[in-house]
Structures are given as structure tokens and as C-alpha cells.
Amino acid sequence: MEYVSTRGTAPTLDFEGATLAGLASDGGLYVPREWPRFDAAEIAAMRGLPYAKLAARIMQPFVGESLTLDRLEALCETAYGRFSHDAVTPLVQLDGQNWLMELFHGPTLAFKDVALQLLGLLFEEFLARSDRNLTIVGATSGDTGSAAIDAVAGRAKVDIFMLHPKGRVSDVQRRQMTTVLAPNVHNLALEGASFDDCQAIVKRMFNDRAMTDRFAIGAVNSINWARLMAQVVYYFATALQLGAPDREVAFSVPTGNFGDVFAGYVAQQMGLPIARLIVATNVNDILYRALAFGDYSQGTVTATASPSMDIQVSSNFERLLFDLGGRDGLALSAQMAGFEATKAMQLTNAQREGAAGLFTSCRADADQMAHAIRWAWEHCGELIDPHTACALHAARVAGLDPAVPIVTLATAHAAKFPEAVERATGQRPGLPSRVGDLFEREERCVGLTGTYDAVAGFVAERATPKAG
């Protein structure tokens, strides 16, 4: 499989190259040259496969020659062997139409583990083939950071520098990052920054020759195609359980950087019968405004009880716009340059109409989010986290055909956000025993001003140069 940049001018790469590159050199994002497709008989034949085998089957066309199917399957067995539930992403029924897909059974209790456990192994596999060292620079609003750190801590040939907005992640999220004391892990808390500021610093570093000449900068955020590829799998796993390919399923996805829901779009492009993808936001609603009104303009970020979705520039939306605009990289490059200059962009009619065929969007405010947490607890006995709650709210007001099951993606364990859950239900969710001593562990984190120069200077002093 060949990978092309959404901005049309970066060199095409194979899967190994795209995984190690992260962001394309023209500032775009790598996508497969075409979407592989499974027909209904092939999808039906996937029923009953254990998760790791299903994962290898679905990802194989994307991986191509970079790994044999046996090797890919072995990596999946290792990655998903660390999950605490045998089904990896189990399904729970809430009522006659609503279901929860629990994505928080990995080591750091959020859906990011599904992709990052595999990505850590892919980095190791590919780096072993050369004398190259990788300098991962990532941005997190809480969950990517801990999952990425868990996936690469202590691994040879990798340093990780993880930027988070100081004071804007939950205590559990922060400690899951800062209590990992492996020498290749560097946590940076950026003063006065939002997640968007952290993400902008990361993207800038990929295009800073002074850095890229010395270091092989790599990505663990969902700008890295391999992240999304691994997330496609759970849409298949769940839809198969609910009757696919003979029955359509809808998904409601709590959304920030548009990665998780874009993986759902990819599943649909690959032939999975998805009736609708509901893009659920909190009050940081750039995606809601884009999909409902065509207005993709960056508002200021408001801190909410669902901090991981406090995002106003959604990187992966560019991947959808690329497809909706007929994969014209140069036209999209001009459109994105306009957005970067003015912080505002109007979707074209073709982009709006194309998106409307599959996507619906809904925005949940603080009361609606809390009400959804309460409803899940009082009617179904489920404690859900605030991100999941935004999507459950959206699922319940979407007005879809009652015959279509709606699966809400439960993206984090409730115990990562105990205060919000307790306020809504009177119940304080406890951490699972495997992370039970989190609050007794020593923390290590460096505070920096939220400027590019401060971060680049810190990385340059500590990272291992590319080769040798």
C-alpha cells in the first residue's frame, strides 16, 4: 500500500515509512492511496474471529509488504494480550437501541491504548531494521500522553517528549504520565497553553529543518496514520457482533481531534454497513459548527469536565476534507493555508454535502453531559465518563430509526474523571486495582513556557540524534 499526503507534494511512502514519518513533509497527513474494500461475504467470514486475528485481517491491506500477516498477527496478540478483558473492546447493552463499546480495558484506561499498544511494537519492529533513533514529540489533552508513554517507556532507540497544557488534564491523567520514570520519557507541562497550542508546536517541529536535520521526529498523535488504522478494527468487531454485514449500525463518537470518528469513516469506506456516524463534541464545538453550518473556525478553548475534548483545531478533519474534495491535494493545501492564516474556513458545498451523507453532529453542554452520566447510572447501572457522556447524549437525541442500533464509544474509564462522575451520580468511581497505587507514586515533570523555542531547545538538548 502506498501513502500519499493530503497536501499533495510530499513523497509517497510505504506503511513503514508513513508510520515512522508521522506528519508529511508538506505539512499534510498521510492517507492510503485508496481504501481497501471487503465485500459482504468477506465481512461475514470475519464473524467469531478473536480480536487479534480480526485486527490482523483488517489491517493487513494497509500494512502491505511492511510485515507478513503472521508477524502482524503476532504483534496484535502481544498488544491486545495486555488488555484486561478477553473481548478487548466489549459491548454492553443500555436499552433497546443504545449500546456502549467499552474501549478502556487497556493499561491506561482509555481508547488510545488500542492503537498505541500496537504502535509501540511497530516502532520497535521498524527501528530494529536500521540504525535509526526516533524522537517522538507528542501533544496531549490527557489520554494520548499516558497511552503513548506506556507503549514506549524503556524501549530502545526511542525518546518521547510529551507536551500537555499545564493544569488542564485530570489528576489521574497527569499522574499516569508523570509517574513513569523511565529515562527515555520526558513530560513537559506548558504554562498558559491549550492542547491546540501544544499540537501546533508539535506540527511546527516536523517542519523545522534545524530539528529534522538532526533528529528523526516521530508522532504518536493521530496525525500518525497507524493510530487510525488500529482504531478501524473495533468498528468492525462491534458491528459484526450486532449483525453486520446483514444489518446497519450507527456509532456515536466523542470527538476532539476527529481521529476516532475518522476511523469509523474508514471502516465504512472499507465496506462496513454504517448507517450514521454521530460526531459528538462538548462546548468546544468547531466540528459541530463545521458539520452543521459549514463553519470551520477556531474558537477559544473553554475548559470543561471532558478535558480531552477541549480542542478547537481538529487535525484529522483534513483527512476527511481531502476525500470529500476529490483528493485534490493542491486545492486542499490552499484551503488549509487559508485556515492557518485566518483561523477560519468555510467548507465548500461539495464538502458539506459529502459529509452530510454519513455524519451528523451534536454538541453537549455541561448540563447535558451530566444528565447523560446520571441517566446511564440510574437506568442502566453504568458509570460512564464525561467524554462518553457527551456521545451518549448525542446518541439519545439523534432521532435515528429505532431499528438501527446506536453504539456509543466509551472512550475512557469513569475513574479517570471521578469528580464529574460523583457530582452527577453521587458515586465515586474507583481506579482498577492494576493502577491502584497511582497516587502514591513519585512524579517527574518539567514546567516550560508554552513557546516553540522553549520546547525545541529542551528537546534538542536531550534527544538522541537520528543515527548512531
Ligand X SMILES: N[C@@H](CCOP(=O)(O)O)C(=O)O
Supply the residues annotated as catalytic.
112
Q: Where do the DSSP E strands lie in 2-128?
A: 3-5, 30-32, 91-93, 98-102
Q: Binding residue for ligand X (CB under 6 A) from 221, 252, 312, 425?
A: 221
Q: Which of residues 308-367 bind ligand X (CB under 6 A)?
A: 308, 315
Q: Which stretch binds ligand PLP (CB under 6 A): 62-70, 156-164, 255-263, 345-353?
A: 255-263
Q: Which is nearer to ligand PLP, 126 or 296 (CB)?
A: 296
With H, G, I as helix, E, B as strand and everything else as coil, classify residue 271.
Answer: coil
Q: Which stretch binds ligand X (CB under 6 A): 24-32, 57-65, 136-144, 204-212?
A: 136-144
250, three cell numbers: 450507527
CA distance 345 to 450: 26
CA distance 237 to 463: 39
Q: Which is nearer to ligand PLP, 115 or 211 (CB)?
A: 115
H or E stretch covering 160: strand 158-165
Q: Which is nearer to ligand PLP, 16 or 196 (CB)?
A: 196
Q: Which stretch binds ligand X (CB under 6 A): 33-41, 62-70, 150-158, 252-260?
A: 252-260
Q: Binding residue for ligand X (CB under 6 A) from 22, 107, 120, 145?
A: 145
Contacting residues for 184 by C-beta, under 8 A, at least 6 apart: 152, 153, 154, 155, 158, 159, 160
End-to-end Cα distance, the chain: 30
Q: Taking CB under 6 A as the rule, does residue 170 contact ligand PLP?
A: no
H or E stretch covering 234: helix 225-241
Which of ligand PLP, ligand X, none binds 387 (CB below 5-8 Å, type-dependent)?
A: ligand PLP
CA distance 253 to 288: 12
Which of ligand X, ligand PLP, none binds 258 (CB below 5-8 Å, type-dependent)?
A: ligand PLP
Q: Binding residue for ligand PLP (CB under 6 A) from 233, 411, 424, 425?
A: 411
Helices (H), 242-365: 259-269, 286-293, 317-324, 329-342, 349-356
Which of ligand X, ligand PLP, none binds 298 (CB below 5-8 Å, type-dependent)?
A: none
Q: Which is nearer to ligand X, 143 or 382 (CB)?
A: 143
Q: Taking CB under 6 A as the rule, does residue 144 contact ligand X?
A: yes
DSSP letter at 30 equals E
Q: Taking CB under 6 A as the rule, does residue 141 contact ligand X?
A: yes
CA distance 114 to 298: 29
Which of ligand X, ligand PLP, none binds 254 (CB below 5-8 Å, type-dependent)?
A: ligand PLP
Q: Binding residue for ligand X (CB under 6 A) from 108, 140, 252, 298?
A: 140
CB of 11 vs ligand PLP, minimal distance in Å: 27
Q: Which stretch binds ligand X (CB under 6 A): 22-30, 124-132, 256-264, 441-449?
A: 256-264
**Burial, 440: exposed, middle or buried (Cβ in 10 Å; 0-12, 13-18, 19+)?**
exposed
10 Å Cβ neighbour count for 453? 10
Q: Which is nearer to ligand X, 282 or 368 (CB)?
A: 282
| 437, 440, 441, 445 alpha-carbon torsion, rounded to 10° | 130
Q: Which is nearer to ligand PLP, 176 or 222 (CB)?
A: 222
Residue type, 309: M
Q: Taking CB under 6 A as the rule, does residue 142 contact ligand X?
A: yes
Rg (CA), the chain: 20
Q: Which stretch binds ligand PLP (CB under 6 A): 35-43, 116-124, 254-262, 325-333?
A: 254-262
Q: Taking CB under 6 A as the rule, does residue 387 contact ligand PLP?
A: yes
Point out which residues bind ligand PLP (CB under 6 A): 110, 142-143, 222, 254-261, 308-309, 387, 411-412
